[in-house]
C-alpha cells in the first residue's frame, strides 16, 4: 500500500492497523530478513507532506516531516540543529543515512538511538496524528521500552518539532567501534546561556531515554563556577540516574560507568564552546 497523501495514509492506517509502516526501510528490512511476519506494508515514502520541513514558532523551532532523513538534517539543518546533526553524523554509513528516517528510528523503539538522545536534549516533541486528531509527545518519553513507543495502532508520526539551538551542544557516544555501530551508551547535551541551564539526555543506559534532572540542576546552580570538581560531580549524578540493562554489547556496570564518563566529556566540550 502506497498512499500519496497524509489523509490517505491515515485512512489506510485506520483500516489496516496490522500493517507494518515503512519509509526508509533500513529498520524494517532488517526485521524482514530475520523472519518478521508482515501481513502488509504501509509505505509512506510517497507522501509529500511527510517530507516537508519548515520553521515554526517565529523561527524558534524547526518542524521536520516524519520522513526526514539523517542526510537531510546534515545538509539542510546542521546550523539550526547542531546537536541533532552531531548525532546524525555517527549513524551507520552514508548509504544508510541517505535512507533512514528520524521518525523511523523512534517508532522502532530503540532506547539506544542516536536521534533519540539528541531530540531529548533539544526538548523536541513528536507530532502524532490519528482518527482523534493531532497530539504531541515529549521526544525523550516517546520510546517506552525496547521495541515499544507511544504510538497507537491507528496513529502515525507526522513530524518532529525541534527547538533551534540557543547555545553550544555536544554529543558523546560509546560503541563497539568508532563507526557503523549502535550506541552502547550515548549522552547529548545542550547549554542555554541566556537561561543559564542545560538539558541532557542519555540513551543506551536504561530501557528508555533518561533525562537526569539532578545533573541538569547542578549545571544551573554552578553556572558561574564550572570546574573539574563540578564536572566530576555532574558525571556521577548522570551515572546515578541511569538504570542500565546488560546485553551482549555491554554489562550494566560498563554502561553506568560509560554514562558518567560520556556525560563529563560532553559537558566539558559544550562548556568550552561558550
State the DSSP string of 231-251.
Answer: HHHHHHHHHHH-----BTTB-
CB atoms within 10 A of CB 184: 23
CA dihedral 47, 58, 119, 227 (to 10 degrees): 160
In this prediction, residues 196-209 reach a mean pLDDT of: 97
In this prediction, residues 166-183 reach a mean pLDDT of: 88
- pLDDT for res 179: 65
User: Which structural domain, as residue segments, surrounds residue 141?
Assistant: 48-163
Question: Which residue, 113, 130, 163, sits at the end of a domain?
Answer: 163
pLDDT tops 90 at residue 8: yes
Here the CATH number for the domain that contains residue 186 is: 3.30.390.50
Does one domain contain both 183 and 109? Answer: no
Indicate whether 42 belongs to any domain.
no
Indicate whether 5 belongs to any domain.
no
Helix axes 252-272, 228-241, angle to 10 degrees: 140
Indicate whether 187 belongs to any domain.
yes
- How much of the chain, in percent, has pLDDT values that exceed 90? 89
Cell of 105: 528510528
pLDDT class of 49 with cuts at 50, 70, 90: very high
Indicate whether 11 belongs to any domain.
no
Question: Which residue, 163, 183, 216, sits at the end of a domain?
Answer: 163
pTM summary value:
0.96
Indicate whether 231 belongs to any domain.
yes
pLDDT digits 0-9 by tens, 87-124: 999 998 999 999 999 999 899 999 999 999 999 999 99
Does one domain contain both 113 and 86? Answer: yes
When comparing pLDDT for 46 and 27, which is higher?
46
Indicate whether 72 belongs to any domain.
yes
List 124's β-bridge partners, or say none: none
Question: Position of cell 509502516?
Answer: 21
Amino acid at each position: 500500500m502506497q498512499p500519496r497523501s497524509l489523509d490517505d495514509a491515515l485512512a489506510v492506517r485506520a483500516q489496516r492497523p496490522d500493517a507494518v509502516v515503512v519509509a526508509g526501510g533500513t529498520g524494517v528490512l532488517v526485521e524482514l530478513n530475520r523472519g518478521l511476519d508482515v501481513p502488509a506494508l504501509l509505505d509512506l515514502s510517497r507522501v509529500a507532506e511527510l517530507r516537508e520541513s519548515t520553521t515554526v514558532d517565529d523561527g524558534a523551532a524547526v518542524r521536520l516531516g516524519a520522513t526526514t532523513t539523517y542526510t537531510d538534517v546534515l545538509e539542510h539543518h546542521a546550523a539550526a540543529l547542531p546537536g541533532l546533526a552531531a548525532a546524525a553524523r555517527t549513524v551507520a554509513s552514508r548509504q544508510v543515512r541517505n535512507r533512514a528516517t528520524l521518525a523511523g528510528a523512534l517508532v522502532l523503539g530503540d532506547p539506544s538511538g542516536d536521534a533519540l538522545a539528541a531530540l531529548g536534549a533539544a526538548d523536541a516533541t513528536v507530532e502524532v496524528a490519528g482518527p482523534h486528531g493531532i497530539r504531541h509527545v515529549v521526544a525523550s518519553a516517546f520510546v517506552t521500552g525496547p521495541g515499544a513507543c507511544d504510538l497507537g495502532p491507528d496513529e502515525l508520526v507526522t513530524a518532529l518539532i525541534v527547538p533551534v539551538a540557543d547555545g553550544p551542544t555536544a554529543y558523546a557516544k560509546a560503541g563497539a567501534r568508532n563507526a557503523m555501530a549502535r550506541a552502547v551508551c550515548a549522552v547529548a547535551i545542550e547549554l542555554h546561556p541566556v537561561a543559564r541551564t542545560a538539558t541532557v539526555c542519555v540513551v543506551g543506559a536504561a530501557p528508555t531515554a533518561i533525562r537526569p534532572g539532578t545533573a541538569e540542576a547542578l549545571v544551573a546552580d554552578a553556572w558561574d563556577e564550572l570546574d573539574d570538581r563540578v564536572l566530576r560531580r555532574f558525571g556521577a549524578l548522570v551515572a546515578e540516574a541511569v538504570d542500565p540493562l546488560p546485553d551482549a554489547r555491554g554489562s550494566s556496570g560498563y554502561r553506568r560507568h560509560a554514562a558518567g564518563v560520556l556525560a563529563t566529556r560532553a559537558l566539558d566540550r559544550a562548556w568550552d564552546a561558550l
